[in-house]
Amino acid sequence: MTKIGSIIEARDASYAAVARRAHLQARTVRMLATGETPIDRVAVGTIRRIANALEVPVALLLEDEPVHPGDPSSSRADRLAAAIRDVMWARQAVRYPSPLESGAGDDIADVTPDEFFGGMPTVDARRG
């Protein structure tokens, strides 16, 4: 379930009621609420309409919940994507907790991204 779906459920509303207030089809709202249609594949105007119908800021529907490595409620792909995104675009060093339950013997858990990637050769994106 997506943020839209969670908000609709928390308000005990129906897809049809939200769609009516947003001047959209109920199917559109349902597909966004269930994740069948990813929110990044929808026009900004549609998201604005839904946000207005739910009386929430648009940013609330667009911002991702933080994903933390080792969090079993997120998929492995989501955790890996978040870790890579944080390492590649973080403004400061990100320290992740060890994914090992005991935390013992994990040499990478306390390493900063600069230390981890320090000895790697530069990748030239122009070469493909």
Domains detected in the chain: 3-62 (1.10.260.40), 76-119 (no CATH)
* Residue 125, CA distances (Å) to 12, 76, 79, 88, 117 in order: 49, 26, 25, 14, 17
Nearest to 64 by CA among 44, 90, 38: 38
pTM of the model: 0.52
pLDDT, tens digit (0-9, with 9 covering 90-100), for 6-27 = 899 999 999 999 999 999 999 9
The letter for the amino acid at 67 is V
Mark the ranges of the chain whose per-residue pLDDT is less than 70. Answer: 63-71, 85-111, 122-128
Note the pLDDT of residue 102: 46
